[in-house]
Structure formats: C-alpha cells, structure tokens
Amino acid sequence: MSLSSNTPQGTQSQQGARIVQRHPDDQSGPGPDVMAAETLQGDDVINLQGEKLGTIEDIMLDVGSGRIAYAVLSFGGLLGVGDKLFAVPWSAMTLDADRKCFVLDVPKDRLQAAPGLDKDHWPSMADQSWASQVYAYYNQQPYWQ
C-alpha cells in the first residue's frame, strides 16, 4: 500500500489523523480507530522517504472541544537530552497501523526548521496566532475552523 496515495497534498478538510492498514476488516481490538493516548506515546514518526523524524512525546487535548489539538514530536537528542519538541497538527499525521508508527509528509530539513516548543513554557492553543502559525506551517486547516 502506498502511503503517498493516502496522504494528499494541500490543505486538509478532515479533522483527525488518517489511518492506513492492510487489514481494515480486522476488528480484534480497540485500535486503530479508538486508542488510548498512552499507547501512542513513544511511537516513531517517519516521513514518506522512510527517515525517522522522532517520536510522539505527548498528545495535547483541547478539553473544551473534545478534540486533539496537536501531537508533540520529540526530535533528535539522546535519552531526552538535547531533543527538540515540535507541535504537529494531528490532521498532518497518518497512523500506519501495520508498522505501528506515524507518517508525517515533511522532509527532515523542513521539520528541523519548524517552530519548536520551549520545554519549560509550552504555548497555549488559546493563542490563536501561535496555533494558526503551527497549522499553516504544516499546510493544515485548523481544527477550530
């Protein structure tokens, strides 16, 4: 299965991550449509070229709307030292259920140039200016629009 065929370019109108898997008829568990956020933490994030971009550090919820605001991607570093954190819109990710990883259609150098998060002072999604910039960087429609 080609991920690129399931990862259209341009602004997305969907609100959540896409899911790809070889056996969509397999209903033998809660995933991949409904999963505990904890089970996704630590999952690898790769790009379409197969390069590892990092891991899912956290999943941030917009409690008021009941939606996922963004995933926190940890990139680089060793054992949490020297790594950079990035907010990535949930809709920019594709869950590859077969490989148990996420795919983000972003070249590694573009991710390295993305606006990062300060580990000690995380921004608020209530700051629509910041949130809009993050969604625009990844060419995604903000979930609140």
More confident residue, 78 or 115: 115
Token digits of residue 87: 């907010």
More confident residue, 121 or 75: 75
The type of residue at 8 is P
Rg for the chain, CA atoms, rounded: 15
Percent of the chain with pLDDT over 70: 72
Q: Give the full edge-to-edge strand order of the sheet including 18-20.
A: 18-20, 93-96, 101-104, 44-46, 52-62, 67-75, 84-88, 116-117
Across 34-47, average pLDDT: 86
Q: pLDDT tens for residues 59-72?
A: 998 888 888 889 99
| 8 SS3 class | coil
Q: Secondary structure of the chain: what % helix, strand, coil (to 5)? A: 15, 30, 50
What's the pLDDT score for residue 3?
A: 39
CB atoms within 10 A of CB 101: 18
What's the pLDDT score for residue 57?
A: 92
Q: How far is CA 72 from the centre of its chain?
A: 7
In the predicted model, is pLDDT for residue 11 greater than 50?
no
Q: pLDDT tens for residues 85-133?
A: 999 999 999 989 888 899 999 999 999 889 888 777 777 767 888 889 9
What's the pLDDT score for residue 78?
A: 61
| 38 SS3 class | helix
In the predicted model, is pLDDT for residue 8 greater than 50?
no
Token digits of residue 77: 């570093």
The type of residue at 51 is E
Asked if 69 contacts 143 with a C-beta cutoff of 8 angstroms, the reply is: yes
What's the pLDDT score for residue 83?
A: 81
Whether the predicted model's global pTM rises above the 0.75 cut: yes
- Residue 56 CA to residue 83 CA, distance in Å, equals 12
Domains and CATH numbers, the chain: 36-137 (2.30.30.240)
